[in-house]
Each structure stands twice: as C-alpha cells, then as structure tokens.
Chain A
Amino acid sequence: MKGRPGSLIAGRSVMGRLVMSRLGAAGFSLVFVIVTIFVITSALPGDVADTLLGQGATPEATARLRVALHLDQPAWLRFWHWAGGMLTGDPGRSLLTGHPVSELVLPRLHNSLLLAGATAAVSVPLALAAGLACAMFRGGWFDRIVTFLTLATVSVPVFLIATLAVFVFAVQLKIVPSLSDIGSIHSVWQFIRVFLMPVLTLTSVTVAQMVRMIRACMIDVLSAPYIEMAVLKGLSPQRIVLLNALPNAIGPVVNAIALSLSSLLGGVVVVETVFSYPGMAGLMVESVAARDIPVVQCCALVFCVAYLALTTAADIVGIASASRKRDA
C-alpha cells in the first residue's frame, strides 16, 4: 500500500509511510542477517579444513582442501560468491556428500512447511477460543488455570513437553509410533498418527504463547473508556468481549498470533529432532553436528527469512489497525 500524496486522506498516507519504513527496516535486517550468517560461519576461529580432516591430517592435504573450498581467497571475495549464489538460488554443495545444497534442503523445507501449517491450523483457533474465554471470565477459575498452565508451558524447554508426549502416547497408551515416518502415509488415519505427536507438542507450546498474548491484548482493549460505558449500560461481560472489544482488538490479536508463530522455530528444531521428523530443522541440527557449513548457512538463511517475513507481517498488521482506529 503506497501512500499517494494528495489523493488519499491524511491517515492513509501516514500509514503508507509507516509501512514503507517498516519494509525498509526489514530489508536492512535481511542484509544484516546475510552478513551475520557469513561472518559467524566463516570468520570465527576454527578452520573448516582442519575440522573436516581431523587431527591426523597432513599439512599438504589441509592446504589442498583449503584451495578446493576457496578458503585461500580473501573473505570479501568469498562473501561475494556466497551471497550471490544464495540470492540466485545456488547455495553451493554439501561438504559431506557433495550433493547440491538445494537438493537436500527443498524436500526437507516442504516437510517443515507441512508441519508448521498443520500446527498453525490447530493452534490458532484453539488459542483464540482460550484467550477470549480467559478475557471473558477474567479472574475466574478457568482464567486462573489457563494462566498457570500457559506460564508453566512457556517456561519449560520444548523437549520436556516432547518427551512427556512420547511417554504418555507412545510408551503408556501405545496409540502412536514414537518416530515419524512420512513415507508410510497412505490414508487420513495414518496421516493423523504420524503428525499427532509433533503437532501436539508444537501446538501446546504455540498455544501457550498465543493465549498469553491474546489475553493481554484483550485486557488492554477492555480498559478503554467505551468498554466502561458498555459495562455501565449493563451489558454482560461475554457480550462486551465479543461485540465491543473483539472488533477493536483484531489488529493486536493478529499481531500476537504472527509473533507467536514466528517463535515456533525454536520448538521446530527440537521437535523434529526428538521425533526424527525429516524436516529442515532436523537437517540443520545434523549439519551443525557434522560441521557441514554450506548446508547450515542455507538452512539458517531460509529460517531467518521466514522469521523476518512473519515479524514484518505482524508489525504491518499492527500499523494498519492503529491507523484504522485513528481514521474512525
């Protein structure tokens, strides 16, 4: 939405400028992220050639590998080749297998997106319902239980929830396999069985975060003067939350949802590893352990871009809703 000066009302063009400046900041962050990924993985002490060949390597072998990996070139030249390759869709070859990185990453990316999509589809409606219910019955037993549960969930590591899920569903109840095997999906039931545990774990983490943020947003909106007016008119709290507060809270709530989804990433890394789910985060962890730097760089960049896109979208929704309120 570009601000066309003169042709639109003042609020819109202010919003256009804010959105443009937010996009500019996102562009800057993208450049920063690309440079940082390169600097961390290339400029830190620890030579890839030494690490790959181990301690018994002869100096000649190390030197040959350094030339083969272009490590003898100056850093700025390597950055130029690397960043250029990344942006044109050629992220190089894996140090371990020699396959092009894109061949390794793309199928994994597809799996990860599937997992993230399933999680979002389950957790967003759930979090909305729970968050609104908390705001409606604020201070009641439901609110107190949910608040405690969400606080506990966001403050324990994801692997704790994942291992708990394995213990309950796979070890005790034996209704699902403890490892994901995507290749064996032939029916809806199998699909549910394979995805149940990773999605359940990720959902509980995401829902906890979303409920906390949605509840805070709603309580913020509920402190506005027009809500006080509605209370004085004698409307029920449920009616006030749904009909008066919610329409005005949509912006902040969508913002909260996008932010929580972006924080899904830390959970994805652990969940994919625990359940051996063949996604991109799992690939990244394997590559980090094997010091396969080109794969690590590519995965990191894809994750950062996704994260940046979500946080930027969240901010733009926030800006749009703020300006709509001002116009009204």
Chain B
Amino acid sequence: MRDLFALRRKIPPGTRRILTLLSAWLLLALLGPMLAPHPPGEIISGEVFGPVSAHAWLGTDYLGRDLCSRLLWGIRYTVAICMMSTALSCCARVFLGIATTVTPVWVERVLGRLMDGLLSIPSLLFALLVVATAGESAPALILTMAIIYMPGSYRTSRALALRIVRMDYITAARARGETRSFIILREILPNMTDPLLSDIGLRFIYAVLLLSNLSFLGLGVQPPMVDLGSLVRENILGMAYGAPAVVVPTLVIALLTVGINLTLDRGRV
C-alpha cells in the first residue's frame, strides 16, 4: 500500500490527470449499462424524438426508445472498441520495438519501410477498404484500427527511445555496470511513460473520431449494437426539431475528444 502511494507521488501531474480522465471513461463504459433505466432496444414511448422527462431522462429516439439507456450502451461500445484497438497497437509496437533491437538490421529497415508505406494510406480510406471486404464486425474494426495507428506510434516511440538511450544518465548507468534489464526497466521505461501516455491519449482520440465517422457513414458498429456515431446517424432526422436524441450523443463525443485533447494540451504547455 505504501508502495502505491510512493508510486502515486512519483507520477507527474499531467500524467495523473490524463490517467484519471481515461479511467473515468473506462469506468463509465464498464458500469454505465448496468445503470441504464431501460433495456436499450425497448420502445418505452409512442412519442418519437420526445423531450426530456422523468420517464425518459434524455428524451426518446426515432423509434421512441429511451435515449439515456442507448447512450450508456453507445459509450460502452465506443470506449471499449477504441481502447482495445489503442491497447493492441501499443502492445504491438512495444513488441516490435523490443524485437528489432535483437534482430538483424535489415529486419528493422524493412519494417520501417512497411510502416512508412502504411502511413501513406489515409486512415479512413484504409478502414473503408477493410469494411468493403471483411464486413463491419467489432473484432474486424478493432484489428483494423490497431493496424492503422501502429505506424505512427511505432515511429514516435522509436524516436523517443533512441533519444533517451543517448542521454548521459544512461551512459552513467552503463558505467556503473547495471544490467541491461535494469537499464531498460528502471532508466529507459520510466522516462518514456509520460510522452508515451500522451501519445496513447492522442491515438485514442483519433480512434474515437475514426470509429464515429465510420458509424456515422453506416459502415461501423451495426445494429443491434450501438455506438456514439451510429446514435447520431439513426437520429439525424431529429436535427430539424433540435431533438435531444441527436444533440446529446454529439455533445458526448465532443466531451470525450475535446476533454482528453485539452488535458493533453495542458500537460504539453
């Protein structure tokens, strides 16, 4: 327990803020659907695009279903799919980063070239290509987004590691005769976590934007599942009446992305 507190004190405030924010969204994604007042598919009212009431806390959607419940489920799918793909691409690049230090040089070169090639395909286009062939299943979406965001993060983390390895304190650690695992775990990794975390936060936002765009186009999460982008899509007719069914999901997306971006920006300054 004391170790935990010591660890907490060591974390810089910027990192702590972004960690808190990400955990809050994760918690909402995990617990939210349990708090949902109605099942997401149940039609609770004859009134479509209904206003906010005691029965339907955020109004009703285009079929008269409870928006609040659907929103909680939508947050779960958006956050879960995007976090999983971000985590996957992060793991892949850590694995590749470590692997390329022990493999022959040409492997690293070829990998770098492949990553550059991947970067030259715009992300939404890549996603559309995969959806055109493999369909819109959740695992396919997660895997696709993990692949899309791998090259960028691979480059960032590699540049970061190369810069840290050249630092004086690494030379000092080497001169002290520390083992390689000590240098990697206690000297390099702690100095990488902060920038890496802000990179992960940024990739998470990109993933949320990409998934929302795909779902908005009708090529992302499919019914009966629902995410924030598809909520906006299915209720778009409510725009004419300014219905909460279309306003609230858009606001939640903005809250998610702008919130994380502002937190990251504050950490950078």
Chain A contact residues, CB within 8 Å of chain B: 25, 28-29, 32-33, 36-37, 40-42, 44-46, 48, 151-152, 154-160, 163, 166-167, 171, 262-263, 265-266, 269-270, 273, 284-285, 287-289, 291, 293, 296, 300, 303-304, 307-308, 311
Contact = CB atoms under 8 A, between A and B. Distances in A.
A303 B218 contact: no
Q: Which 3 A-B pairs have the closest CB atoms?
A: A32-B117, A29-B120, A155-B261
Contact of B123 (A40, A42, A266, A308): A266
Query: Which of A160, A163, A307 has the most chain B CB atoms closer than 10 A to its own CB?
Result: A160
B121 A33 contact: yes
A289 B229 contact: no
Interface in B130-149: 130-135
Contacts of A300: 125, 128-129
A156 B260 CA distance: 11
Interface string B56-93: 00000000000000000000000000000000000000
B132 A41 contact: yes
A287 to B, nearest CB: 7
A270 B262 CA distance: 25
Contacts of A45: 134
B129 A296 contact: yes
B46 interface: no
A289 B122 contact: no
B134 A37 contact: no
B111 interface: no
B125 A304 contact: yes
Given A155-B261, A303-B122, A288 B232 contact: no
B249 to A, nearest CB: 10
Given A33-B120, A304-B125, A269 B217 contact: yes
B239 to A, nearest CB: 6
B219 interface: yes
B133 A40 contact: yes
Contact of B216 (A151, A159, A265, A284): A159
Contacts, number: 132
Interface stretch (B12-20, B98-106, B178-186, B205-213): B205-213
B56 to A, nearest CB: 22
A263 B210 CA distance: 13
B11 interface: no
Interface of B: 113-114, 116-118, 120-126, 128-135, 205, 209, 212-213, 216-219, 229, 232, 236, 239-240, 242, 246, 250, 253-254, 257-258, 260-262, 265
A303 B126 CA distance: 11
A50 to B, nearest CB: 11
B216 to A, nearest CB: 5
B239 A171 contact: yes
19 contacts: A32-B113, A33-B120, A42-B133, A44-B130, A44-B133, A155-B261, A157-B229, A159-B216, A160-B253, A163-B250, A167-B242, A265-B124, A270-B213, A273-B217, A287-B132, A289-B219, A296-B128, A296-B129, A296-B132
Contact of B213 (A41, A44, A157, A311): A157
A151 B258 contact: yes
Given A28-B113, A171-B240, A159 B213 contact: yes
B135 A46 contact: yes
A28 B120 CA distance: 10
Contact of A157 (B113, B242, B253): B253
B124 A266 contact: yes
A118 B116 CA distance: 30
Given A157-B257, A262-B122, 13 more contacts: A29-B120, A32-B120, A40-B129, A40-B130, A42-B133, A48-B133, A156-B253, A159-B212, A171-B240, A269-B217, A296-B132, A303-B122, A304-B125
Contacts of A166: 239
B86 to A, nearest CB: 15
Given A289-B219, A300-B125, A151 B265 contact: yes
A73 to B, nearest CB: 18
Given A41-B132, A307-B120, A308-B120, A163 B253 contact: no
Nearest to A26: B120
Contacts of A156: 209, 253-254, 257-258
B128 A288 contact: yes
Nearest to B144: A40
B132 A293 contact: yes
